[in-house]
Amino acid sequence: MSDRLLVLVRHGQSEWNLKNLFTGWKDPDLTELGVKEAVQAGRKLKELGLSFDVAFTSALTRAQHTLDLALKEMGQTNIPVTKNLALNERDYGDLSGLNKDDARAKWGEEQVLIWRRSYDVPPPGGESLKDTLARTLPYFVQEILPCVLRGERTLVAAHGNSLRALIMVLEKLTPEQILKRELATGTPVIYRLNADATVASVVDTAK
């Protein structure tokens, strides 16, 4: 039995991250910096002596591109990759594509902050973090976790909010705690799980 390895990595900087736009399910690609971050993520994992048997990513280009670049850097482009919209970023609804400053001007700073940072208040036409968890967690439990528990070393490249939803469950965080948890772009978080799916150890390579 392998050591039940699960690595989560948020995509590198996207074109809309750079422009300060709400992205959600919109599909911009990586910036030049984002490409470098993805390559660096692969290099970091390789330096740590990690390799993978399977990988999962979202239906969005920025996450898929990050995964491709990281696997190429590790020399592991031949492993099976599963793409699923269950791992997509939180849907920002009517905010998608808007500059964050313009959104504050339209709805007020306090309201936009509530939409961005509350656990269960969705923006108009979009998802809250709670909604994102309800979408992401069943897929994780049914498709990703069984791979890890079988000893298949598993890499997941996805998005800030879909990954925070998983981290909330893995680390048993409260809604208040997960709201304070930031995930840096292109930075792997490395978990090793016990046989009962609890976390044996976690290393956030940003720290």
**DSSP alpha helices (H): ranges in the chain?**
15-18, 32-47, 61-74, 100-107, 109-117, 129-139, 145-149, 160-170, 175-179
Which residue in the list 11, 37, 127, 152 is annotated as catalytic?
11
Which residue in the list 37, 73, 89, 127 is annotated as catalytic?
89
* 73, 39 contact by CB (below 8 A): yes
User: Is 152 a known active-site residue?
Assistant: no
- Whole-angstrom distance, CA of residue 44 vs CA of residue 126: 35
Distance between terminal CA atoms of the chain? 29
User: Is 89 a known active-site residue?
Assistant: yes
- Whole-angstrom distance, CA of residue 154 vs CA of residue 53: 6
Q: How many residues does the chain have?
A: 207
Residue with the two structure tokens 């998005």: 159
Q: Which two tokens stand for residue 137?
A: 């967690």
Residues annotated as catalytic are: 11, 89
